[in-house]
Structures are given as structure tokens and as C-alpha cells.
Amino acid sequence: MIRKILLVLLICLLALPLFAGGKSEEPTETKTVGMEGTINDPGLFQPGKLTVATGEPAYPPWMMDDDPAAGIGFENGMIYALAEKLGFDRDDVVWVRQTFDQGIAPGEKDYDFNIQQFSVTEERAEFVDFSDVYYRPEKAVITIPGSDIITAKTFEDLKKAKWGATIGTADLSYIENILGVKDVAVFNDVAGTFQALLAGQIDATCIELPTALFITFVQVPDAIISAVLPTDPNDLGHGLIFEKGSSIVGWINEGLEAIIADGVIADLTKEYLIGDESIQVISK
């Protein structure tokens, strides 16, 4: 008799999770069904919010006054247009700060995507996912008044100068692989590169034209743009960076395609990124 009672109790205990646990799980599953591609997409870092990382600091003309939330600048202006297209209110955009190197590093991300003028490359795509390209910049040669490089007309002329660039950038790759310059001086950050330029340690550096325009006009007025160079054929352009395997890349790309079709990117380019047409172009 005792064995029968114990057997009945055991059966009841085994059955409890089927009833007690089953009810609490079903509403959670129901909440996520059909939410993909909406502001409550479960793939978002914080559903209901669009969490966006950018640099510390964020530089003009990409973002003005180091204030992403103001929406004044090419990239933060683009993000707010994208957020609206995806269905987010302006207040639902959450900004976080991160260095450039952290953005391209593998691993989990505490945001949905990062925008920091990241060039789309095959090497980086091994560790992170990219959005569609939203901008493809030209390069600018920056030097100081009186430099011999100002008279350069060809890539061969440019190669005679002493070059410097910031480590890990597409600019360094451009100087080495497109211009064919050897023994480029490498610096830890943009500030160090320009300090070397002003001190006469290097003759020239190369940087994206929009950034070069602001630097030479506001931050380093003693430097000048001596020439514009063609886009790097190996640099596909700027893309948003996501954690590898992110489920929201396709949805974000749909939003990007829509604001490009609406002319948003073209308008922002005209407002923030267009240079002086009188600057000479060196194409080969």
C-alpha cells in the first residue's frame, strides 16, 4: 500500500512542471511573435529603443559640437531620419560612446549598431556585420603652405613626399596601397598626425575629404588641402557596424534604402560634405 502511495506522489510531482511551468512561458513567446521589423523587434539591444554607438569625441562635419543627440551633422542627421523611417520617435534614439577600435572588435555589443565612418572591408567583415554602404568619400591631400607637394600633379609626384597617417585607418591603407608610398610614418591618433605635419616631421597626410574640410577650416587652419584624390577601389564606403550575426541588419538596410531613395543622404551630403570645386584633382 505504501509503495502505491509513493508511486502516485512521484507521478504527480513529475507532472507539475507541465502545468506550472507551461503557463508562464507561453506569454513570453507570444510577445515576440510578429515583432520582427518593428520598434519592438526582439533583436534590438533594448526593444522599443534604437541604441546607437558613435565616437568619443564625435568629429564635425559628421556630428557637430560633439553632440549626437542634437542631430546636427551628416551622420547623426542620417540616424534620426533612419529612426523616423523605422518607426522610432526622436526620444527613442539612445546614444552611447565607444572608440573606433572597440567598434570593429569582435564580440558582443551593447548597442544595435555603431556609426563612425567605418569603411566596409572584407577583413573587418570577418568579425562584425555591416549595413549597406551609405556614403563613399573621396580622399584629400593635406599639407602646409609652401610645401613642395602643392605642385604635385600625379601619384608619382606625391610619392616623393614624406607621408604620415593614423594607425589602423583606411587613410593609411590608401597611402600605402593606392599611392604606393613606402615608409609611411604612423601615429596613434589624428591629433598626433597633424602635430607631426605642423612640426615638419612629415610633408603630407591623407584623410577623407569631408573631415579634411572641417579640420583645415576650423581645427588646424595652418594646414591646407592641396588636392583631391579618387575614392579607393578597395574601400567600398561607409557602413554601419553590427554585432556578428545580428538579426536586425536586413531591417535596418530596408530603412537605409528608403531614406536614400527619399534623397535624405543626398541632401545631407550637400549640406555637410561638399568641398571647394577649385581644389585640383589628382586621379593617377
In three-state form (DSSP H/G/I as H, E/B as E, the rest C), the secondary structure along 24-87 is HHHHHHHHHCCCCCCCCCCCCCCCCCEEEEECCCCCCCCCHHHCHHHCCCHHHHHHHHHHHHHC
Lowest mean pLDDT among 97-106, 110-119, 230-239: 230-239
For residue 277, being part of any structural domain is answered with no
Do 225 and 249 sit in the same domain of this protein?
no
Do 96 and 121 sit in the same domain of this protein?
yes
Residue 106 confidence (pLDDT) above 60: yes
Do 154 and 132 sit in the same domain of this protein?
no
For residue 27, being part of any structural domain is answered with no
pLDDT in the model for residue 2: 42
Average pLDDT of the segment spanning 273-279 = 74
Do 240 and 115 sit in the same domain of this protein?
yes
Structural domain of residue 175, as residue ranges? Answer: 139-229
Do 88 and 214 sit in the same domain of this protein?
no
Do 107 and 243 sit in the same domain of this protein?
yes
Do 243 and 116 sit in the same domain of this protein?
yes
Do 185 and 241 sit in the same domain of this protein?
no
- Which residue type is seen at 172? L
For residue 214, being part of any structural domain is answered with yes
For residue 5, being part of any structural domain is answered with no
Q: What is the pTM of this model?
A: 0.72
Most confidently modeled range among 15-24, 41-50, 182-191: 41-50
Mean of all residue pLDDT scores within the chain: 87
Average pLDDT of the segment spanning 248-274 = 95
For residue 123, being part of any structural domain is answered with yes
Residue 20 confidence (pLDDT) above 50: no
For residue 158, being part of any structural domain is answered with yes
Percent of the chain with pLDDT over 70: 87
Do 92 and 219 sit in the same domain of this protein?
no
For 121-131, how does the pLDDT look when each residue is reduced to its tens digit (9 = 90+)? 888 999 999 99
Q: Is residue 110 within 8 Å of residue 45, measured between CB atoms?
A: yes
Q: Which residues of 151-169 are buried (b: 16+ CB within 10 A; e: fewer)?
A: ebeeeeebeebebbbbeeb
Do 129 and 195 sit in the same domain of this protein?
no
Do 143 and 203 sit in the same domain of this protein?
yes
Examine residue 61 and say whether the peptide bond preceding it is cis (omega within 30 degrees of 0). yes
For 147-162, how does the pLDDT look when each residue is reduced to its tens digit (9 = 90+)? 999 999 999 999 999 9
Do 111 and 244 sit in the same domain of this protein?
yes
Number of domains in the chain: 2
pLDDT in the model for residue 265: 95
For residue 45, being part of any structural domain is answered with no
For residue 24, being part of any structural domain is answered with no
